[in-house]
Amino acid sequence: MTDPNRMADPRSGRSRRRRSVALTTALATALAALTLGAAGQVTGGPAAAAEARTAKAHVDNPFAGASFYVNPDYAAKVKGSIAKTSDTALKARMEKVKRYPTAVWLDRIAAIHGGDANAGRKSLADHLDLALAQKKRGKPITATFVVYDLPGRDCASLASNGELPLTQAGLDRYKSDYIDVIAKVFKNPKYRNIRITTVIEPDGLPNLVTNTADPECAQAKSSGIYVKAAQYALDKLHAIPNVYTYLDVAHSGWLGWDTNLTQTAQLYTEVAKGTADGLSSVDGLVTNVSNYTPLEEPFLTDPDKVVGGSMVKSGAFYGWNANFDESDFTRNLHRALVAAGWPASTGMVIDTSRNGWGGSARPTAESTSTTLDTYVTESKADRRAHRGLWCNVDGAGLGQPPRSAPSGAPDSHLDAFLWVKPPGESDGAGEDIPNDEGKRKDPMCDPNYTVPNAGNSKTGALPGAPLAGHWFHDQFSMLVKNAYPAVPTGPAAPTAPDATAKETP
């Protein structure tokens, strides 16, 4: 997953949404009773039948009141890092992180089937079976899967190139061998009690907003392949009552400029309206997937504040982008979508897996400098030299733990914080590593590379990184050390609902 960042210049009162909700409660109950009565007799009587009826309803926020699936494949990787770690306190924190929920990436066709062809990882059906095993009676469970195999994937970068070509043949295979197969697994009746949440094609549509100067992205747009693929995925997955669809929408450092945000709302509206069920085919949007943009900049709260004769948003780091963080971005993006006709019930999710920026470098107070760029540098939590630096960034830390319906940012309409990018999985390699995954070296992952369109800054990438998606022990250790908030070593639950979204210094 990459972020090229080629820059061009109240939760309360939300109405319930979606197709099955359009039925009256009485009719829905009657239909459920007719179709599930026998199931109740077979699987445990009235209580089990009532649970099955509840699971059938497509709710407004699938994460609310639910537990989260914990992926044992991820836990095994963390266990390997624990074995390499001598620091007792760090090991204890790693043990805690091992029990945190993370998304499962279906980043190629082999990932659906698992096994040796997918580095020994579990199949999609395996994960859903395990989610059922983790589910507690009477309490819903969510399991999140990243749908990530576009034809010509990541057109503006190299680290996460995919297996399918940007051709009609590639699109046909995407439909038949990828989306159709995923949908067939999801539709298995035994999984009806799992709220399956999907993150649709990270970076795909955002590349069509800003990166069409790149020939491959221009082809992705002119051919319509990215849009057709996204629409097909939405149509197939939305048709399954217990599946929830969230479109990836990059992050504030990529699409936060007014012009980009307007174009984003237009494109996503056109894509959604082109599906069979229109805007109803999308449950929400996900920001900051695999990125490092902070949830909040606690000391930079007013982009129009004047320092040294200029507004803070005009500084070199922000470049007139007034969306400094993901709380700002989700709020303003939601407003733009509603203005374009989307329902106010549209939910937002933020990937907080690596945007904590803790550690000794985190500022503890607003700068007193009267020089604008110095003021911004000393005040911002985001320690990158440029917001366009996205690969295995040195100094980053874990962010807020996954949780449902976080409070503290009501205008952002947040359904959840998720760890979509499993912390410790590489963003990409800075050198050639032979592989059969279609992934290539990317200069943005080379710590010695100077980035022309990032103020001639070095990438800030950690050295020695493996291929995108492969385990990177050094990065994982760093993320745990620099977590903000710090990873607890006591018994505190990492997925408690209704925790505050607002960061405090």
User: Of 469, 40, 6, 61, which is closest to residue 283 (Cα–Cα)?
Assistant: 61
Helix (H, G, I), strand (E, B) or coil at 380: coil
- Residue 282 neighbours by CB under 8 Å, 6+ apart: 234, 238, 245, 246, 247, 268, 272, 346
C-alpha–C-alpha distance, residues 158 and 442, integer Å: 5
User: Of 163, 159, 131, which is closest to residue 145 (Cα–Cα)?
Assistant: 131
User: Of 33, 64, 191, 87, which is closest to residue 139 (Cα–Cα)?
Assistant: 64
Q: Is 116 assigned a catalytic role? A: no
Q: Is 203 assigned a catalytic role? A: yes
CB 430 within 8 A of CB 445: yes
Is residue 419 packed enough to be buried (19+ CB in 10 Å), middle (13-18) or exposed (0-12)?
A: buried
**Can you list the pairs that 276-280 forms with residues at least 24 positions away whose Cβ atoms lie under 8 Å?**
276/235, 277/19, 277/235, 277/238, 279/341, 279/342, 279/343, 280/17, 280/18, 280/19, 280/238
DSSP 308: T
Q: Which residues pair with 143 in a beta bridge?
A: 196
List 203, 328, 415, 446, catalytic entry: 203
What's the one-letter identity of residue 316? A
How far is CA 450 from its chain centroid? Answer: 28
Helix (H, G, I), strand (E, B) or coil at 103: coil
Helix (H, G, I), strand (E, B) or coil at 459: coil
In a 13 Å sphere around the CA of 220, the CA atoms on its Cβ side amount to 28
Helix (H, G, I), strand (E, B) or coil at 281: helix
List 283, 382, 394, 427, catalytic entry: 427
The residues annotated as belonging to the active site are 203, 427
